[in-house]
Structure formats: C-alpha cells, structure tokens
Amino acid sequence: MMNLAAALQRNAACKPNQVALVCGETEITYAQFDAIAGKIAHALIQNGIQAGDRVALSCPNLPFFPLVYYGIQKAGAVAVPLNVLLKSREIKYHLEDSKAKFYFCFEGTPDLPMAREGIAAFGAVDSCESMIVMTLDQTQHKFEGQPTLNSFIHDVEPLEDYVQREADDTCVILYTSGTTGLPKGAELTQNNIVMNAMVAQNIMATQGSEVHLITLPLFHTFGQTVHLNAGVLSGAKLVLVPRFEPNHVLELIEKHKVNIFAGVPTMYIGLIHAQLNYDVSSLRIAVSGGASLPTEVIRTFESRFNVPILEGYGLSETSPIACFNHLDCERIPGSVGQPVQGVEVRVVDVEGKTLPIGEEGEIIVRGHNIMKGYLDRPDATEAAIRNGWFYTGDIGRFDESGNMYIVDRVKDMIIRGGFNVYPREIEEVFMTHPSVAMVAVIGIPNEEYGEEIKAYVVLKEGQEIEADELQAWGKAQFAAFKYPRFVEIRKQLPMSATGKILKRELKAEIKEVTA
C-alpha cells in the first residue's frame, strides 16, 4: 500500500512550522500545507469522489497547484494536470478523454483568461460533474454559478488520513504533447511517481533544509517530479515562480538563498544573457531536462555561475527520469549521463536488436518508471511497450563508460538525398556562433533531394548579422549534405509553456506555404 501524500503527512507531523511553499509574500508551512490539502480531500470525498476517480487541474505555479494536487492524492483520486495555455476546445477534449469528474481551474489573468476558457469547456462536458474556480481575491466572486475553492472547503475538517492505494494504482495522468494525432494520457502509477521522486532526490542529494526555485510548470512531468514531489519527499522549501523572467529569478535566488534550480534550455539561455547583479552563491546544483542542452550553453552557464548542471533524459511515459548525470561521476558535456537506479536503457536497431557501443539507434527503456499505459488506448500502448520495454522514438548512443548521448528524435531526423541529417548536431554548432542566441533546424520539402535543411535563428541582443552570412558560415562547418541551405533570422521562436521550441509550428508554416 502507498500514497504519494504520505511524505506530506510525515513532514506536517515532524516539521510542522517549517515553510513549505513560498510565492510572492505568501508563506505556507508544512502543517498548513497538509491541513489545506486534507480539507480539499475531505470535500472531494463528501462530493462523491471515490478512489481512482479522475480530477483535472489547470493552474500555473501558484500555491493552489500543490495544495490541490496533494489534496487529490490524499483523497485517493487521480490527478490530471492540464497545460495552462489550453483553449476551451482543448480543455473539453482533455476533460472528456480523461473522464474527469471534478475540475479545478485558476481564475487566470487578462493575458491568460483560464477560467473563461475552462468554464466554456466544462459547460460542454456532461461527464464532469463539478468545477471549482481558484481565485486570489476570495472577497470577489467573478464567476457566477461556479463555487470558489474557499467556499468548497469552508467548514470542512481536514481528512484524518490519506486514502490507501496499491502500488499499481494510477496516481497521475499526464497528457503527451500530441505531436502525432490527438494527445494521449500516460497513466503513471503510485509506484512510478514515488520511485521517480526518490530517484530525483538521490541524484540531487537533496536535504530537508534546502530551497528549490520552481520556474518549471508544475503541470509538466519534469517540474512535478524534480521539484514538487522530490521537494516534498525531502521536506524542502519550494519557492514558486508563476512566470520565468531571468532577472526576477536571479533576484529570488539571492533573496531566498536558493540551493536547487531546474530549467529547460531556453531558461538557461535567458539566464546567461541576463545581468548578473545578484548574489547567487547559495546555488548548489542546477538541473536541465525537457530538451537537449547545447554544450556551449552548459560551458557558459557553469563558468559564469560556478554551479554544475546535471542534465537528464526522460519522457512523460517514463515518469520522467530514465538517465541522469550524477554528482559522483564525471560529467561529459553533451551526455545525459547513465541510466538511473532500477532502470535499464538500451539502444536498438529497427528489428529491436541491441546495438554495439557507439552505434546510433532507438532508445528503449525498462524499469520501475514505465507508465501503466496510454489511457483507454490499448493499441497505442501495445505499440509503445513491447516485452516490458518502452520504445521512446528517440535516437541515441552509448559510449564505453556507459554514458548516454541523445542524437535526435526519430521524427525530427532529416533525410536529404538519402543521407540522414540530425538537426541537433547542426543546432549545437550554430550555438557556438558569437551572434546566435537560439536556433531550431527542420527539414523542408525539396523536389530534388526529398528534404532540404532550414535553420531558424534568434540573434543575441545587440548583434547584427545577415542570414546569408550565417548560411555561408554554416557551409564552412559541415559536410556538403549537412549544412543549411536556408537560414531565416527571427526575433523569437514558437515556444511551449514548458519553454520547449515548437518545431511542429515551424513545420506547419512550411506546409501552409507549400500547400
């Protein structure tokens, strides 16, 4: 028997007055955290939620998220975190697909009207029985007919103990980005989530007295595991940042004496270009995931901040951690480290046979971190998980020391005139150019070669260079079949809420032009 909420309940008992959550001027202790989550759990149960029922949650990095997330766990229900950028049509799909019975939604802001979108979706879904709006100002009720979180838990006593669950019971449903077809819900079990949080805690050697700065969206698997769940497991202080802004992040690191920071590559790029006017000497470790971190960014960040970056690898379907660099092992720029404890990783050919060291092939993973399956999609589950191995769709290789290197996504690989070209290799080299801040490389249709290579480039602030100059520079760096024949300079690239460059949007632009 297990429940993710056990760690929260333990911390509330042994360190009740320690600050657990910080956001702006708001501070919540572990005793308060557990009590509010307990009230949410009790209110859910009083409103008919039973163990295994799905409860959806739309919220940025505000205290509401961990309070509701752990309240769902204490009730024995299944959390379904949703991307905060979803529109009503997309929210409707997720509520229907997950069969969520309850939906918690933050009120939003003028720029991000979440509750407006959420209410429109909720009204169109018969299977979702209740919607709760989370408002910052409890004295103002802007959404007639929708109860607020404050009214939902008013006069409700905290649940005395969390609902016991089995290790294989679903804990969280995380929706994949849906790069092919509609998004699929990855069912992660209690064992998946708890074990992966323990792995993250061990990798970072996290102590209960330490401070995490959470800029990663908590609705995403990376932020949930490395920060929220690993942090609660160790009893750490969690500083929540609703929106990433480099100078504000540096200010908070100084103010709260932050020890642990985790981010995606675009965040690290933002930090190395920020003005370093703050004392960040409290930082002990930085963690990167979500996408491959260019080696030039690693070198620049580590030399400037004097902090090691531990890069890892994983997917929603692997809870997410599969490989990670470790503090007690040599860190090699460009490598995502070794398979974590209890997890096996192989590189295989198209027939599923293990390839020799150094050869590139598809990465497959087996262990305690592999999802139960895709919700209500047995065919997709069977295609992804074969003989206990999850086929990631990523291309990688091992070196002789057991370090894993991610080459690229199978679907992102460009085939130009019969030659395989990996966008990441081109991106890594372009990031070394003194004028380049960010780059994304995709394949575009070409009658003669099948595909041609195009690079979209964002320049560093204050830098000026023409696209044809960058194209000529690239030509000097690569073999004739590899260099980008097309370079386009842009002010920005399309990004997901997690800070990942959305190549699919760039590809969609090309499709529209060539259609």
163: pLDDT confidence band, cut at 50, 70 and 90?
A: very high
Q: What does the pLDDT read at residue 480? A: 81
Measured CA angle at 223 (ends 201, 113), to 5 deg? 160
Amino acid letter, residue 206: T
Residue scoring higher pLDDT (144 or 113):
113
Q: Which of 223, 222, 239, 235 is nearest to 283 (CA)?
A: 239
334: pLDDT confidence band, cut at 50, 70 and 90?
A: confident
Whether the Cβ atoms of residue 226 and residue 325 lie closer than 8 Å to each other: no
CATH number of 28-165: 3.40.50.980
Whether the Cβ atoms of residue 226 and residue 287 lie closer than 8 Å to each other: yes
Strand 211-214 versus strand 237-240 pairing type = parallel
The mean pLDDT of 352-373, rounded to a whole number, is 97
Amino acid letter, residue 397: R
Cα distances (Å, whole numbers) of residue 324 to 64, 301, 395: 30, 18, 16
Assess whether pLDDT exceeds 80 at residue 292.
no
Tens-digit pLDDT profile for residues 71-101: 999 999 999 999 898 889 889 999 999 999 9
CA distance 458 to 204: 32
Whether the Cβ atoms of residue 290 and residue 264 lie closer than 8 Å to each other: yes
Strand (E) or helix (H) holding 19 = strand 19-23
One fold for both 28-165 and 191-409?
A: yes
% of the chain exceeding 70 in pLDDT: 98
Provide CB contacts within 8 A for 154, sequence distance 6+: none
Residue found by looking up tokens 């979803």 in the block: 86
The mean pLDDT of 428-437, rounded to a whole number, is 93
Residue scoring higher pLDDT (509 or 513):
509
* Global pTM value: 0.86
Provide CB contacts within 8 A for 255, sequence distance 6+: none
Measured CA angle at 16 (ends 14, 22), to 5 deg? 125
Amino acid letter, residue 297: V
Q: Is the backbone peptide bond immediately before 320 cis, with ω within 30 degrees of 0?
A: yes
Assess whether pLDDT exceeds 70 at residue 375.
yes
CA distance 391 to 408: 14
Q: Locate all alpha helices (DSSP H) within 18-63, ordered by sequence.
A: 30-46
Phi, psi dihedral angles at 110 (to 5 degrees):
-55, -35
Q: What does the pLDDT read at residue 109? A: 86
Q: What share of the chain is helix, strand, coil (3-state, %, to 5)?
A: 30, 25, 40
Provide CB contacts within 8 A for 512, sequence distance 6+: none
- Mapped onto helix, strand or coil, the DSSP state of residue 367 is strand
User: Which of 3-12, 36-45, 406-415, 423-432 is predicted with the least confidence, judged by mean pLDDT?
Assistant: 406-415
Average pLDDT, the chain: 92
Q: What does the pLDDT read at residue 179? A: 45
User: Which superfamily does 416-514 belong to?
Assistant: ANL, C-terminal domain (3.30.300.30)
CA distance 229 to 283: 20
User: Which of 30-34, 119-123, 199-203, 408-412 is predicted with the least confidence, judged by mean pLDDT?
Assistant: 408-412
CA distance 90 to 114: 12
Cα distances (Å, whole numbers) of residue 34 to 17, 54, 74, 234, 295: 12, 21, 9, 15, 41
* Domain spans, the chain: 28-165, 191-409, 416-514
- Mapped onto helix, strand or coil, the DSSP state of residue 290 is coil
Assess whether pLDDT exceeds 50 at residue 478.
yes
Selected from 3.40.50.12780, 3.90.420.10, 3.20.20.70, 3.40.50.740, the CATH number assigned to the domain covering 191-409 reads 3.40.50.12780
The mean pLDDT of 205-225, rounded to a whole number, is 93
Tens-digit pLDDT profile for residues 239-258: 999 999 999 999 999 999 99
Q: What's the 3-state SS for 393-417?
A: EEEEEECCCCCEEEEEEHHHCEEEC
